[in-house]
Amino acid sequence: LDRRPPVSDVRTRMRLLLQFKGKTTEVHADSADTVIAAAHDALALPSDEWRLKIVAKGKQLQPGASLPALAEGAKLMVMASSITAVERGLTSRSDPTVRGFAAEDEAASRRAADTAGGADEVSVWCTSQDAEHKFCRFEPCTWQSFGTRPSSTTPHAFEARKLLLRLATDPAVVGIMRERRYRVGTLAEMDPIDDRLAEKMEGGGKRLLGYNTNHGMSIHVRLRTMDLRGFEAYPSLVDTLLHELAHNEVGPHNDLFWHLFAQLKADYLRHHARLAQSGALFSGASPLQLAGVAEQALLPEAAGSSAPGSLTRRPAPAGV
């Protein structure tokens, strides 16, 4: 008896290697259907329980299709899915605690809006920043940063963001930013107990109140008191901000720097004095009262002169 396989099998079927779970299995096939059937048999995966995905040359073999041009001994990748598991996944409800791609995109957009420059937010000044010369982003510290959960004595990051917005939209600060053509990437709250900033302090025992990175790429201001029970006084925060803005132009603390800082403070008081003389009110209060500088500004001099006499006291140095 002739036990050789049929002539059609010898001439048309080719030897293929199926790779599945790190193992290689040899089969002979002449079409996509025979490859799929041979894979079910060779891998012991019944067709009524498993769905196979067989990939050749980067494309999935489709039932009823012919084989692509493959060389003898070509390798095909096999992936198997349980039909029961697939049907269970299609009929089950999504886990509400796991966000999908659309939800992730929405959350990312929301986070980007939160860190943007407060275009839709309003501070107690009820004013806006200049369209070009402004603080582009705000970054308050979260409790994870300084290790203390918000409580009745520790202001929340929301309150810190409001304070950053108040500083950025202060009409006198807006005027200085516009006149000096300053643009700051990020106005951020400085971590009050970040030891990594100790190296920036000018000698032992001095408090670090703020710092300027790369001439305005970012400005960090210490908002909270040392005991974290509240925020520093607003006029002190303004002094620190003006100090750091001066570093946009001058790096070292030399005579040129201190002259620029004094000029910025004089400009700040003069802006508010002029607003006060015009009768402008912000949240029902005089700008000098809202800024806490009524005692520092002498209205006649501050409104019309840039002489040092417009300052009732010289502001103390702050920050680095």
pLDDT given for residue 320 in this prediction: 60
Q: Are 39 and 55 in contact (CB under 8 A)?
A: no
| pLDDT surpasses 90 at 252 | yes
Taking the CB of residue 35, how many other CB atoms lie within 10 A of it? 25
pLDDT given for residue 310 in this prediction: 33
> In one letter, which amino acid is 273?
A
Name 94's Cβ contacts closer than 8 Å, sequence gap at least 6.
Answer: 100
Q: Are 151 and 103 in contact (CB under 8 A)?
A: no
> pLDDT (tens digit, 9 = 90+) per residue, 189-244?
988 766 445 555 555 556 688 899 999 999 999 998 888 888 999 999 999 999 99
CA 260 – CA 265 distance, rounded (Å): 9
Q: What is the mean pLDDT of residues 111-130?
A: 74
Taking the CB of residue 78, how many other CB atoms lie within 10 A of it? 21
Taking the CB of residue 282, how many other CB atoms lie within 10 A of it? 20
> pLDDT (tens digit, 9 = 90+) per residue, 73-97?
889 899 998 988 888 877 777 677 7
Q: Are 220 and 194 in contact (CB under 8 A)?
A: no
Closest Cα partner for 13 from 67, 76, 60? 67
| pLDDT surpasses 70 at 247 | yes
Lookup: tokens for 229: 């029970």
| Sign of the dihedral defined by the CA atoms of residues 191, 188, 223, 177, in that order | positive
What is the pTM (predicted TM-score) of this model? 0.59
pLDDT given for residue 231 in this prediction: 93
> pLDDT (tens digit, 9 = 90+) per residue, 92-116?
776 777 777 777 777 777 666 655 5
> pLDDT (tens digit, 9 = 90+) per residue, 11-61?
467 888 889 988 899 988 888 888 889 889 988 999 889 989 998 888 888
